[in-house]
Structure 1
């Protein structure tokens, strides 16, 4: 295992910059998730770490070793791809053994390592089968076993679960995370699925348009997003965003279409430069409730606005209330089954200690 360091990495394809001035350190033994939408540069970053692409600018280090221009075979890395990429004409044993045979390991060592990897992935009973006789989940386990059998310094995974059905994805998320913890191998995992990122990563690195926007533990990135993009990309249902003006009457408040949110006094210093200006107010659905129907537990500071029930998503364990506030539609996440009639006027309580305020022009977080 090694620490992986990216210093000033830029990758251009002609005039297009796929990755721009990326600085990132992945700690020894860490599970880091590169998260972002399609085209954000996360797979290109992974390919540069692997040696499949060469940076236009910058350096890549594995520990103290500069690997920027080394070919993949000299980096001691393994990759697991979105497609299983298992050889259909080889039995499972031979698929797993393939990278060891390329490196000319002795047969007894190959058998030992294949047995070890197969047991870890719980596929030891499948070693004599061909890939065509396996399910998608079993084929993905074979691909992971083949990746770890060489005991790599760095394990790279590019959306390895996206071809699996929803139930199997959940199971494989847990399996991969437990396996990585057991092996303590430095792992970089690419996904556009924020649920995968939140449940698997020791840290999440959020990317958009080739730039790294925020890096941190999942709860930190979720609760303290540093920009509008990060705030709305992570979370399901996503954060409600409302246009508002910072006003001052009997105290500081946020005023928007159909609502006024009075703010506690300690907000003044943070919003001093924005008084009289337009901002964006962000509230996660779980940080609101419908007064008289549910409560915000352990919340000490709240504000109240009015709305009208527009639509109800009954999910069994939760209810998502779509409420109209002025011309805005906001979502409120309530526990359990809450049968509110459409058209009913409601009072909405907001947890003031969990609101987010963004600069309208820069979209950077103010609070």
Structure 2
């Protein structure tokens, strides 16, 4: 059993509380991505789980057992660090083998274990090289192999791809889910890259200021972010945020953009007259050839390999980004019209920044409290 459960975990350094009552539940065999900006407390949280840092309050449970007072070497945890942390005087083979050596495995068991994981990570040809002779990509894979070789029941991966080049980072995003699934371990993976978070996590826990602000599936985090700050962290180009004051009439609840009505969920009627921010993902907007929808003026277009992003302005000169697949027809200049699917509209309270849910204030306000 490798189910991870944290209950009211608190960590302070002198008078500064860096983790504030963390509650987290990671089911056995799943991958949870711990996402957040620099200084949010992600690495400290991993070290508390590993036992390398002692929390000031709360519990760490692994497989139903309270391991709060268990030494790190007895927690059954494998860990890969952001800075690789390889032993410089050992070759890649001995670095990978070090957990097996520490456990007293035989030479044959060590050789078999290292060879298997090295082939899996495609570094079997550099096992005799010391770290200084390895590329960053090979160092990263060596550190990951060391974490995997003993088949730990829990894997803690602290932004292990941060120091590798873009090509390898992309490849590893594709390979890691399969590798982690083959291990069958329960994984907590730290990253500041939203693409990695979306690609690797069964669930994503967003940590900021020492608190879990939102915990959900990648789709939930992206489509229904709990706060404006989370909405800004996910997506490229970033989400459009527009000041609106919802209104209602016999046809329902709506906001106004370029003197056109944007229909909102009828459950948001309790927010009529409230100062809000309307969130619209650029890819949720599309140009229409018909003389209908929201009138805009084309200001500029930026082509990317896989998409094109157009900057448009409304009648009142509010800027909006519209994203579409590359080579999709779209007006290049002048006036145009865009359509908005109401299902893709997200409403936030302008003062607090929390998402406003239909038929209530917001569960986001409770999570952010």
- The alignment's TM-score, normalised by the length of structure 1, stands at 0.90
How far off its partner does 1:77 sit?
A: 0.8
Q: Deviations over 1:188-232 (max 9, x none)?
A: 100010000001111111111111122122122212223222222
Which residue is equivalent to 1:117?
Answer: 117
Which residue is equivalent to 2:364?
Answer: none
1:307 and 2:296 equivalent? yes
How far off its partner does 1:277 sit?
A: 1.7
Of 276, 282, 286, which residue of structure 2 is paired with 1:285? 282
Q: Distance in 2 between matches of 1:249 and 1:108?
A: 77
8 Å CA contact 1:41, 1:207 repeated in 2: yes
**Across the two proteins, how many residue pairs are aligned to each other?**
353
Which residue is equivalent to 2:362?
Answer: none
Q: Distance in 2 between matches of 1:248 and 1:109?
A: 71
Q: Distance in 1 between matches of 2:305 and 2:95?
A: 43
The 5 A counterparts of 1:11-50 are: 11-50=11-50
SS of the residue corresponding to residue 246 of structure 2 reads strand
How far off its partner does 1:8 sit?
A: 0.8
SS of the residue corresponding to residue 2 of structure 2 reads coil
Which residue is equivalent to 2:255?
Answer: 254
CA spacing shift, 1:17–1:259, aligned 2, 3 Å: farther
Q: Distance in 2 between matches of 1:174 and 1:275?
A: 45
8 Å CA contact 1:320, 1:333 repeated in 2: yes
The 5 A counterparts of 1:36-115 are: 36-115=36-115
Which residue is equivalent to 1:332?
Answer: 322
SS of the residue corresponding to residue 307 of structure 1 reads strand
The 5 A counterparts of 1:1-367 are: 2-248=2-248, 251=251, 252-255=253-256, 258-263=258-263, 267-268=265-266, 270-292=267-289, 304-325=293-314, 326-337=316-327, 340-342=331-333, 344-367=334-357
Q: Distance in 2 between matches of 1:315 and 1:64?
A: 49
Q: Distance in 2 between matches of 1:75 and 1:89?
A: 27
How far off its partner does 1:79 sit?
A: 0.9
How far off its partner does 1:29 sit?
A: 0.8
Which residue is equivalent to 2:363?
Answer: none
Q: Distance in 2 between matches of 1:261 and 1:16?
A: 48
Q: Distance in 1 between matches of 2:259 and 2:37?
A: 32
Q: Distance in 2 between matches of 1:135 and 1:276?
A: 58
8 Å CA contact 2:6, 2:61 repeated in 1: yes
Q: Distance in 1 between matches of 2:248 and 2:3?
A: 50
Which residue is equivalent to 2:367?
Answer: none
Q: Distance in 1 between matches of 2:95 and 2:262?
A: 63
8 Å CA contact 1:312, 1:340 repeated in 2: no
The runs of 4+ residues in structure 1 deviating greater than 6 Å are: none
8 Å CA contact 2:262, 2:342 repeated in 1: no
Q: Distance in 1 between matches of 2:59 and 2:181?
A: 28
How far off its partner does 1:89 sit?
A: 2.1
Q: Distance in 2 between matches of 1:310 and 1:18?
A: 44
SS of the residue corresponding to residue 221 of structure 2 reads helix
Q: Distance in 1 between matches of 2:143 and 2:37?
A: 25
Q: Deviations over 1:215-258 (max 9, x none)?
A: 122122212223222222212212111110112356432136x4
Q: Deviations over 1:274-328 (max 9, x none)?
A: 21221110110111012229xxxxxxxxx82222222211113311011122242
SS of the residue corresponding to residue 293 of structure 2 reads strand
- The alignment's TM-score, normalised by the length of structure 2, stands at 0.90
Q: Deviations over 1:305-355 (max 9, x none)?
A: 22222221111331101112224221101122357445x222121111111
Q: Distance in 2 between matches of 1:199 and 1:169?
A: 12
